Amino acid sequence: MDNNCNCNNDELLENDAFVNPTPTDRIPDNPTPPEVAYQIVKDETYPQTQPKLNLATFVTTYMDDYATKLMNEAININYIDETEYPRIAVMNAKCINIIANLWNTPETAAWKTGALAIGSSEACMLGGVAAWLRWRAKRKAQNKPFDKPNFVISSAFQVVWEKFAMLWQIEMRTVPLTLENTTLDAKEALKMCDENTICIVPIMGVTWTGLNDDVEALDAALEEYNKQTGFDIPIHVDAASGGFILPFVDPENKWDFRLKWVLSISTSGHKFGLVYPGLGWVVWKDKQYLPDKMSFSVNYLGAEVTQVGLNFSRPAAQILGQYYQFIRLGFSGYKKVQSDSLSVCGYLHSEIAKIPVFKNYSNEIPNPLFIWYMDPEYDKTAKWTLYDLQYKLQQSGWMVPAYTLPSNLDNFVVMRVVCKQGFTRDMAGMLINDIKDAIAEFEKLDYPTNTRVDISRAQNDKKQMFNHTGK
């Protein structure tokens, strides 16, 4: 029982809720005392994995007490009620300004062009829709067909782009990754482009590998391509993770609005923006790149309220959290947090490299996450798989996902850790010890594990395991 609950024992004693099944289909006929309802909900949802040991998620699992207090105090505020809470709308605009400047916006207007989102998914959708509408308007003006739009991305796309393609019926053309080309190959991407290409989407902080696509090379190749073809295919950068890493730890890397064809960028405030979920941001290089058609106004909230977004109501607390983090940490604070995460990640990476049965996928760690796989020679005779290791680590509370790489590399089973603020060098040491202990146990096995023996069963199991496609 949770001791934080201000439980009234009489209520608990007199109530049958603990001996009856909780409702699954229908709302109960009668109320339940709050202490009891609290306890039931709490018990059912008590984290199965401690958030800090969840190394699968990119999403913030730690904020300091003041940030948490601020966000809790704003829990009953709906962002869309701008008339009632105008300062929050201003704070939102200040956050967009700060992020636009971190990404080197050339826009000179006092208020930069961007939008709040519930996460990167919504932010990516908005960037994608803007590119589509710009392309459509141009095609219409030229009296050309506009019924077959497409966009180009590497096969390591996050599932949001599959949703974008399906929901807006825009063809997704994917450049397959290979062992040689572990990130988006600009030449291959351009081969897939044509007059119907609304944009190319490089990824900073590829979900599957942690690597960055080379946006500068893509921009240069696109400059040539657009010149030769007369097209003006732009770039939307999906910087869900990298958007809050690169400005602080690799400011010389040109991937942002310093590049000619980068017209929009999206990121997750709730990943390395260091805010609890859900928060995303999208910024355009200039107001001219955000089609007017994407702004919708309503007049029934006490004034004319104009918004760009897929959702209408949304929590305001995350905006307070984001602005707090900007003030609290400042540039140097963010830099320290991200560098620390990279340093813990680097430590783990070097320790994994020392374990003879593993191979790191890349020597580079541009974002605080990396993947590794089983040494192919060892793999031939091993009685266990990385899926077994995932399960084993779960028994000690860790969530370290094993999954297959995207198509073309999908015979590679890999394991990934994402290092976030709050994951310390000590915890990384504990994880390494748990991994070594698990391997020592696996090596004593007389018979192969189920995942090793039964490929079809392993395939089945994989469906229930962590992957990025949501399938």
Ligand X SMILES: Cc1ncc(COP(=O)(O)O)c(C=O)c1O
Stretches 75-83, 117-125, 345-353, 454-462: which one binds ligand X (CB under 6 A)?
A: 117-125
Q: Side chain identity at 402, as an amino acid letter?
A: A
Please report whether residue 207 would count as binding ligand X according to CB under 6 A.
Answer: yes
Least Å distance between CB 296 and ligand X? 21
Tell me which of 121, 318, 338, 385 binds ligand X, using CB under 6 A: 121
Count of residues interacting with ligand X (CB under 6 A):
15
From first CA to last CA, the distance across the chain in angstroms is 36
Would you give the binding string for ligand X spanning residues 303-342, x where CB under 6 A is met?
A: ----------------------------------------
DSSP collapsed to 3 states, 235-268 = EEEECCCHHHCHHHHCCCCCCCCCCCCEEEEEEE
Nearer to ligand X, 157 or 225 (CB): 157
Cβ neighbour number for residue 25 with a 10 Å cutoff: 4
Q: Return the number of the residue (106 or 470) whose C-beta is nearest ligand X.
A: 470
Closest CA relative to residue 319, chosen from 81, 55, 58, 54: 81
| 87 alpha carbon, distance to own chain's centre | 28
If binding is defined by CB under 6 A, does position 405 make contact with ligand X?
A: no
Assess 386 for contact with ligand X (CB under 6 A). no
**Does 215 engage in binding with ligand X (CB under 6 A)?**
no
Rule CB under 6 A: choose which of 114, 119, 309, 401 binds ligand X: 119
Which region, judged by CB under 6 A, interacts with ligand X, from 93-101, 119-127, 247-255, 301-309?
Answer: 119-127
One-letter amino acid of 439:
I
Q: Least separation, in Å, of the C-beta of 120 and ligand X?
A: 3
39 near ligand X, judged by CB under 6 A = no
**Binding to ligand X by residue 213, rule CB under 6 A?**
no
Q: What is the dihedral of CA 422, 423, 429, 435, to 10 degrees?
A: 140
Structure tokens at 445: 């096995």
The answer to whether residue 158 forms part of the interface with ligand X (CB under 6 A) is yes
Out of 67, 74, 160, 458, the residue judged to bind ligand X by CB under 6 A: 160
Provide φ and ψ at 223, rounded to 5°. -60, -50
Pair of tokens at residue 183? 């990130």
How far apart, in whole angstroms, are the C-alpha atoms of residue 263 and residue 382? Answer: 49
> Cα dist. 448→206, 404, 454, 470 in Å?
33, 20, 9, 29
- Residue 319 or 357: the one with the smaller Cβ distance to ligand X is 319
Pick 208 or 225: Cβ nearer ligand X: 208
Binding residue for ligand X, selected from 127, 280, 309, 401, defined by CB under 6 A: 280
Residue span binding ligand X (CB under 6 A) among the ranges 72-80, 226-234, 236-244, 321-329: 236-244
Strands (DSSP E) found in 260-393: 262-268, 280-284, 296-298, 305-307, 358-360, 369-374
Q: Closer CB to ligand X, residue 103 or residue 358?
A: 103
Q: Rank residues 36 and 218 by Cβ distance to ligand X and give the closer one.
A: 218
Output 253 or 449, the one with its CB closest to ligand X: 253
Region of 95-103, 184-192, 238-246, 376-384 interacting with ligand X (CB under 6 A): 238-246
Applying CB under 6 A, among 60, 105, 182, 268 the residue interacting with ligand X is: 268
Pick one of 124, 382, 389, 414: the residue that binds ligand X (CB under 6 A): 124
The dihedral built from the CA positions of residue 310, 311, 317 and 320, taken in this order, carries a sign that is positive
155 binds ligand X (CB under 6 A): no
Stretch that binds ligand X, among 11-19, 33-41, 233-241, 312-320 (CB under 6 A): 233-241
**Sheet of 197-201: strands edge to edge?**
114-117, 280-284, 262-268, 235-238, 197-201, 150-154, 171-175
Q: How far is the CB of 206 from ligand X (least distance, A)?
A: 6
Q: Starting at the earlier edge strand, list the strands of the sheet with 358-360.
A: 358-360, 369-374, 413-418, 402-404
The only residue of 199, 240, 265, 458 in contact with ligand X, by rule CB under 6 A: 240
Minimum CB distance to ligand X, residue 22 (Å): 29
Whole-angstrom Cα distance, residue 347 to residue 60?
21
Q: State the minimum distance, in angstroms, from the CB of residue 239 to ligand X.
A: 8
Query: How far apart are the C-alpha atoms of 195 and 289, rounded to whole Å?
Result: 19
Contact flag: residue 196 with ligand X (CB under 6 A): no
Nearer to ligand X, 158 or 338 (CB): 158
CB 177 within 8 A of CB 409: yes
Closer residue to ligand X, CB minimum distance, 96 or 160: 160
SS3 424: coil
301/314 Cα distance (integer angstroms): 15
Q: How far apart are CA 99 and CA 264, in angstroms?
A: 12
- Interface contacts to ligand X, rule CB under 6 A: 58, 119-121, 124, 158, 160, 203, 205, 207, 238, 240-241, 268, 280
